[in-house]
Amino acid sequence: MKKTVGFIGWRGMVGSVLIQRMVEENNFSNIHAVFFSTSQPGKVGPNIQESNILQDAYNFDCLITMDIIISCQGGKYTDDTYQKLRSLGWNGYWIDAASSLRLHEDAIIVLDPINLQDIYSAINIGVKTFVGGNCTVSLMLMALGGLFFNNLIEWVLFSTYQAASGAGSRHIIELVKQMGYLYQSVENKLYKKKYSILDIEKTMSKSIQEINFPKQEFFAPLAGNVLPWIDCAMQNNQTKEEWKVQVEANKILNINNTIPIDGTCVRVGTFRCHSQAFTIKLKKDLSYSNIHNILQEHNNWIRIIPNNVHSTLNLLTPCAVTGTLNIAVGRIRKLNISTNLLSVFSVGDQLLWGAAEPLRRTLMILLST
Ligand code: HSE
């Protein structure tokens, strides 16, 4: 019998990408899908299966009838419903994109190219809660999985270049508005034969400071700027985004000795791909061909990009990777600062492997067990 799967937050960015991927992979043919809404119950839902009237996402009588629930609605919805649903005796599978439940003892963070065996073990012992990891964490593990898997990493230092999408859809819109605002401020000067670049730069820098410059979402300009702060402050001077990396990565890796991972998370003016620069302390010296093979063989989505200008500018960028499941890994080189220090740059789509894809794949794993 087909399992009944409830979708909550399917209209948001991560939810939409999830639905898109499920349609591409024909995943809806295996399930009976029920679409929920927090704001428009009773209205018509997506045209995917015959019955598509939206159910109330706060109707526990209905939620409790689901075999599996996937929420991309955000942490508040999870906080409002998850415990109550469990306390009502609901014993179905809960798959979540939000961070609320990630560190719960009885939840597993899912990234099956890294922890498929742990996911199976969790299912066998009755774990019912499966949560997608933070996007920078998932993308880092996808990129460096081979080195982690072969126990070759002593520690990792990272700098991230995180896209506007990680902050939410309204932030992407605001970034584009900021770009437009800047363009308009100098449009009449750009196409003159004789232009003063210092005048153009000064005009843009001034317009960024104007009261009307759109920054209601980011609270700062992102176009023409970088923002080295993501999420709230932790007591140890990290941001929460930085704090999550070591904690979540080690939970996913599920090894005895914690691998130290730290760095700086930075928002940049890209749309939906997160990039990351890693400095990796290897436990031993490896040849370049060994490193390439170890990285490449870990999963099917790795694209090793040769360390030259043409390949890097064409293949190792957010523009090249966006909308694909590829994990581009390049600029691989040994640093001359100290022995066994490796530098790697990687790019991945924050909405795909960074968010929706591990959830979709988890649903498929749960349906197949
Ligand atoms: N927290 C991430 C970001 C996205 O702000 O880019 C979600 O994992």
> What does the pLDDT look like over 21-58, one tens digit per residue?
999 999 999 899 999 999 999 999 998 987 789 999 99
Among 72, 135, 265, 273, the one annotated catalytic:
135
Distance (Å, rounded) from C-alpha 165 to C-alpha 131? 19
pLDDT the model gives residue 49: 82
Contact at 8 Å (CB) between 358 and 110? yes
Tell me, what's the pLDDT at 251?
98
CA-closest candidate to residue 366, choices 86, 94, 14, 62: 94
**Contact between 142 and 276 (Cβ < 8 Å):** no
Residue 340: the pLDDT is 96
Cα angle for residues 126, 130, 134 (degrees, 5° grid): 150
Catalytic residue among 171, 265, 273, 274: 274
CB 238 within 8 A of CB 100: no
Contact present, 41 and 14 (Cβ < 8 Å): no
Chain position carrying tokens 């629930």 = 69
| Domain residue limits, the chain | 3-133+355-368, 137-162+230-350
Q: What is the pLDDT of residue 52?
A: 84
| Token pair recorded at residue 192 | 């003159």
Going from the C-alpha of 330 to that of each of 94, 126, 162, 299, 310, the distances in angstroms are 36, 40, 17, 15, 12
What CATH number is given for 137-162+230-350 in this structure? 3.30.360.10
pLDDT of 217: 98
Measuring CA to CA, which residue among 296, 295, 352, 301 is closest to residue 322? 352
SS3 state of residue 25: coil
Please check whether the two domains, 3-133+355-368 and 137-162+230-350, share a CATH topology.
no
183 three-class SS: helix
User: Residue 367's pLDDT is what?
Assistant: 97
CA distance 24 to 326: 16
Residue among 72, 111, 131, 136 to mutate when testing ligand 1 (max atoms within 8 A of CB): 136
In angstroms, what CA-CA distances link 183 with 172, 173, 202?
17, 15, 13
Which residue has the least CA distance to atom 2 on ligand 1? 166
Tell whether pTM > 0.85.
yes
**Ligand 1 pocket by Cβ (under 6 Å):** 134-135, 162, 166-167, 230, 241
| Residue whose tokens read 């126990």 | 151
CATH architecture type of domain 3-133+355-368: 3-Layer(aba) Sandwich (3.40)
Low-confidence stretches of the chain (pLDDT < 50) are: none
pLDDT value of position 50:
76
Q: Are 10 and 72 in contact (CB under 8 A)?
A: yes
Q: Which of 158, 243, 350, 353 to mutate to test the pocket of ligand 1 (most atoms within 8 A of CB)?
A: 350
